[in-house]
Amino acid sequence: MSIPVSPSIRKRISESTIHRLSLYYRALSLLEKENYETVSSKELAKREKLTPAQVRKDLSFFGSFGTRGLGYPVKELRAQISSILGLDRTWRVALIGIGNIGSALVSYKEFSKQGFQIVKLFDNDQRKIGSNHKGIIVSDIRNLETELRNDRIEMVVLAVPATVAQYIVDDVVRAGIKAILNFAPANLKVPDDVYLRNENMSMELEYLSFAIVNNHAQKRVKLNI
Amino acid sequence: MSIPVSPSIRKRISESTIHRLSLYYRALSLLEKENYETVSSKELAKREKLTPAQVRKDLSFFGSFGTRGLGYPVKELRAQISSILGLDRTWRVALIGIGNIGSALVSYKEFSKQGFQIVKLFDNDQRKIGSNHKGIIVSDIRNLETELRNDRIEMVVLAVPATVAQYIVDDVVRAGIKAILNFAPANLKVPDDVYLRNENMSMELEYLSFAIVNNHAQKRVKLNI
């Protein structure tokens, strides 16, 4: 059973809701493994440190899914969220920059687990070009635009130094890529029809330092939204 | 000049506001480097792809800071945000697990740039214990609790396999650590007085797949909050 989600509902989903959908998706995957058939908003809320009201509000996007007293059907809800997040398919991903972060990401199992398959690697270092990382031969970044097109790449992960990031991202955009995850600490410019996410891991530490410095506010600052 | 932020204001700051404060902090640091003395809410909004109204609302936490027509004083506002995020000091951080992700994080410059200094490394692999990573000798995880205490560690970054993460986090909590950034794909349990953030980089890719799958909703789904 799959309940369709209407375009108008998809439009109303905010960034923080997407984040919580990712969390629910993980919780539901685990619950399915543990052979749960249904789950209450209370249980989901407890697992993700949210309020039951927030969970019910988020999941109300999917229509009258939960049954009062019975909870949500785990398998169906997981499939529904998987579909809306685009996790019911695989994505062809290219990784640019095989430095410290890039090398770690090639082996990062959470990507492939969610269908994000790194199928191309690029670098500008002659010692790295041609080398094999987890079965993928590193390509020369000089062929970036052509190879991104030829290999039907859908997403790019950028793990290059900040100084060259804009230059490379311009090439990526020219290749028609519409989704970029950037690890470089740079304020990159892309056209309006290209989705760019910046990953800065020190920002996660900043929540922690904020929390410690302002610890009397603990109850109000909900960590792990 | 430093304008004090009252405890009651600190309490009202939500998680997404903290995230935006981190973004403003980065933009202001850059503006300061570029010798700007003031910045308008419009300019800050443009740089971070937000609305000027959102910027004004966030910064109103800091009292009547901006001057109509003149904008916000860059240096003072940066200092203020730095203080509220706890970035006006250094933090002693221990990193546990020197695998792919852990090794990359030892070299991750964004941590030290914001004052998060990795001063201890731990692993359980005899081949890694005693080895030198960026000037730090890897300690045996068997001495975790004692060494975390003796070295006055304030935050822990956890980059260990999911299967052992809870076991290790229990040790970390016993050592009195109150702030943990976890990279393991595990649903860790900590006491209420311990702050835990989970970093899962595939969740960033899920925003992108969501955006592609639901691309007609582009205008409403604000990426890069």
Tokens 């920059």 belong to which residue? A97
With an 8 Å Cβ cutoff, is B54 touching chain A? no
Is A149 within a domain? yes
Query: Into how many domains does chain B fold?
Result: 2
Is B222 within a domain? no
Sequence-distant (6+) residues with CB within 8 A of A168 are: A96, A141, A144, A158, A160
Is A216 within a domain? no
pLDDT tens, position by position, A73-118? 999 999 999 999 999 999 999 999 999 999 999 999 999 999 999 9
Query: What's the confidence (pLDDT) of residue B119?
Result: 98
Measure in Å the smallest separation between the Cα of A93 and chain B Cα atoms: 10
Is B219 within a domain? no
Is A107 within a domain? yes
Tell me the whole-structure pTM to 2 decimals. Answer: 0.86
Verify that B149 and B169 share a domain, yes or no. yes
Q: Is B3 helix (H, G, I), strand (E, B) or coil?
A: coil
Verify that B52 and B121 share a domain, yes or no. no
Is B2 within a domain? no
For the ranges A189-198, B15-24, B132-141, which has the lowest average pLDDT?
Answer: B15-24
Q: What range does the domain containing A50 cover?
A: 7-84
Verify that B35 and B112 share a domain, yes or no. no
Interface of B with A in 61-100 (CB under 8 A): 84-87, 91, 93, 100
* B59 to A217, A221, B30, B48, B89: CA distances (angstroms): 18, 18, 18, 14, 22
Verify that A169 and A112 share a domain, yes or no. yes
With an 8 Å Cβ cutoff, are A206 and B179 in contact?
no
Verify that B132 and B197 share a domain, yes or no. yes
Residue-averaged pLDDT of chain B: 88
CATH number at residue B74: 1.10.10.10
Verify that A106 and A74 share a domain, yes or no. no
* A53 to A13, A50, B11, B195, B220: CA distances (angstroms): 17, 8, 21, 23, 23
pLDDT tens, position by position, B98-134? 999 999 999 999 999 999 999 999 999 999 999 999 9
Among residues A42, A64, A84, the one where a domain terminates is: A84
Sequence-distant (6+) residues with CB within 8 A of B160 are: B96, B97, B99, B102, B168, B184
With an 8 Å Cβ cutoff, are B10 and A181 in contact?
no
Res. A219 pLDDT band, cuts 50 70 90: very low
Verify that B64 and B102 share a domain, yes or no. no
Verify that A135 and A39 share a domain, yes or no. no
CATH number at residue A115: 3.40.50.720
Verify that A18 and A46 share a domain, yes or no. yes
Number of Cβ within a 10 Å radius of residue A197 = 19
Closest Cα partner for A204 from A14, A57, A19, A13? A19
Is A175 within a domain? yes
Verify that A129 and A41 share a domain, yes or no. no
Among residues A84, A104, A125, the one where a domain terminates is: A84
Question: In this structure, are strands A132-133 and A116-123 parallel, antiparallel, or unpaired?
Answer: unpaired
Is A172 within a domain? yes
With an 8 Å Cβ cutoff, is A205 touching chain B? yes
Verify that A197 and A145 share a domain, yes or no. yes
Verify that A106 and A59 share a domain, yes or no. no
